[in-house]
Structure 1
Amino acid sequence: MKLILSRKGFDSAAGGVPSPILPDGRLIVLPIPDDHSLTTYGELAQDGEPLGPLVGDLTRGRLTDGDRVHLDPDLLEESLPRPPGWRPLFGQMGQAQGHLRNQGVGPGDLFLFFGLFRAVATGRDGWAFVPEARPRHVLWGWMQVERVLPLDGPLPAELAWVSGHPHCQRRAANNVLYVARRHLALDGLGETLPGAGIFSHDAPALRLTAPDAAKVSDWRLPAWCYPHGGRAPLSYHADPGRWRRRADGTELRAVARGQEFVLDAAAYPEALPWAGELIRDHAARRASPAT
């Protein structure tokens, strides 16, 4: 199996600002804009929080609730009205999908989605970033793959419900959808959890950026992440100079570019139990698959 760290949501390049951490600690993921999409920010909410006001206030009106949005990965059934049979989806295409294909990513593999977040508060002019709060990379969701669906031909009849996904509105090389499992299947998890969902609140265990980091890409990872003994490192991070072993974990200077970082869980037996524990402890319990 593979564990994939997948960068998704607003950042300085896509969207222009971080996604917000609300005053109560909730992680609200702002999907990037997409003129080809069928969905607008004003149609979306997460955990009852409408995205339109957040997007408008935090981008200072550069984006509004009428702008179209790339809802991908699409993990929460409650985000929109859904057709029968819906389940969570993640799309990828072009060079990024070529990387996933070359790494052998497919059914059974587990995506952990991360993005750039920063604390916000409400004031006289609406939502605003807390001046003293620094942005950081945070894990915000997961999806375990059941099926990989190429979008280079007609959709199978039983999967016609995927047609509203933004990747179905594009014609591009290596354009595929990853369809989520209904229930998570990880050895030793010991309970039934959805195959995809979000982490409800910010927590130290979900933070990738080190507490004292000068840059958001300076990460603090568990000790088992350190590549040694001939084990292949996280993809795109083969340079040994990016890694440093510490008594309390592993430091990684993460690459600035790249969307999908793949780890071979067979070489890192701690990887999937670690991910399963994060999901068990921090999952938003409302995030359940359609039945």
Structure 2
Amino acid sequence: MLASYVYRPPIIEGRPISLPIPTRRRSITTYDHLGLGEIVERVTRGKIARDHLCHEDPMFTRGQCLFGQCGAAQSHLRNMGVGAGDVFLFFGLFADEQSGERHHRIFGYLRVDDVISPSTGELGELDRPHPHTLGEWNENNTIYRGAGEVARKDHETLRLTQPGGPLRHWAVPDWLRAAGLSFHGKPERWLADNRLEVVARGQEFVADIGDDAAARDWLDQTLETIRL
């Protein structure tokens, strides 16, 4: 899973709008290029202009997703054995359309087909360059590529924060406690009623579900909901 958003992306007419983080380097893509110029200016009250460069990662294009990682984050994924056949569920911080309540929710997925080193691998034709192909990166710079989509509706089942909060108390499926989640080894984080107090910092949390039928059913249902 991934969380990489500084400002609260909005939910507009029932659709969660994920906003890439702003950047000043290793990008030639602006918010306007992505059709997000007016939204980012409104959400940030003009602190970020529509022509500001952004870090479009994960990148969703032509029915696929490309997700770049490097440094400690990529080392963690490599050490956890993440690769072809695995699934990323991307989450972010959103604001409820009516109340403005902040909450975490899943907004997209990537089912990994290839793990590519941008310095040597071929990404094929893209609408825009992926940021991890521009400029200098760590030696372990990596792009995960495969089928992926973003959610078109703010389905309640994609919400992570428990109703009423607090923000970092997530409602999680009952199989997750047994499967475990990286960075969440302390027993006191696993609360009653299938709730989890997530760590304050972190980009990727990995769960090895193996052949667990309940976990795989949950994953299939989650991907189907995203595609609705």
User: TM-score, normalised to structure 1's length?
Assistant: 0.73
**Is 1:207–2:141 an aligned residue pair?**
no
Does the residue aligned with 2:170 lie in a helix, a strand or coil?
A: strand
Does the residue aligned with 1:260 lie in a helix, a strand or coil?
A: coil
Q: Specify the structure having the higher radius of gyration (Cα).
A: 1
C-alpha displacement of 1:267: 6.6
CA deviation string 1:241-273 (max 9, x = no partner): 000232xxx110000111000000117442222
Match of 1:103 in 2: 80
Structure 1 gap segments, 5+ residues each: 46-50, 78-85, 121-129, 181-194, 285-291
CA deviation string 1:127-180 (max 9, x = no partner): xxx5x42100000000100010013x3444xx3536810011132222100111
C-alpha displacement of 1:224: 1.6
Number of residues of Structure 1 aligned to a counterpart in Structure 2:
225
Q: Which amino acid aligns with 2:186?
A: D
What is the root-mean-square deviation in Å for CA atoms of aligned residues?
A: 1.8
User: TM-score, normalised to structure 2's length?
Assistant: 0.92
Match of 2:136 in 1: 171
Does structure 2 conserve the Cα–Cα contact (< 8 Å) formed by 1:19 and 1:28? yes
In structure 2, C-alpha distance between the alignment counterparts of 1:155 and 1:104, rounded to whole Å: 20
Does structure 2 conserve the Cα–Cα contact (< 8 Å) formed by 1:225 and 1:268? no
Does structure 2 conserve the Cα–Cα contact (< 8 Å) formed by 1:210 and 1:220? yes
TM-aligned CA distance change 1:89 to 1:282, over 3 Å: closer
* Runs of 4+ in structure 1 over 6 Å off: none
Structure 2 gap segments, 5+ residues each: none
In structure 1, C-alpha distance between the alignment counterparts of 2:108 and 2:215, rounded to whole Å: 16
Does the residue aligned with 1:6 lie in a helix, a strand or coil?
A: coil
C-alpha displacement of 1:222: 1.5
Match of 1:196 in 2: 148
**Is 1:67–2:34 an aligned residue pair?**
no
In structure 1, C-alpha distance between the alignment counterparts of 2:155 and 2:121, rounded to whole Å: 39
C-alpha displacement of 1:18: 0.6
Q: Which amino acid aligns with 2:106?
A: L
In structure 1, C-alpha distance between the alignment counterparts of 2:132 and 2:70, rounded to whole Å: 8
In structure 2, C-alpha distance between the alignment counterparts of 1:269 and 1:94, rounded to whole Å: 33
TM-aligned CA distance change 1:154 to 1:266, over 3 Å: closer
Does the residue aligned with 2:192 lie in a helix, a strand or coil?
A: strand
C-alpha displacement of 1:282: 3.5
C-alpha displacement of 1:68: 0.3
Match of 2:181 in 1: 234
Does the residue aligned with 2:14 lie in a helix, a strand or coil?
A: coil
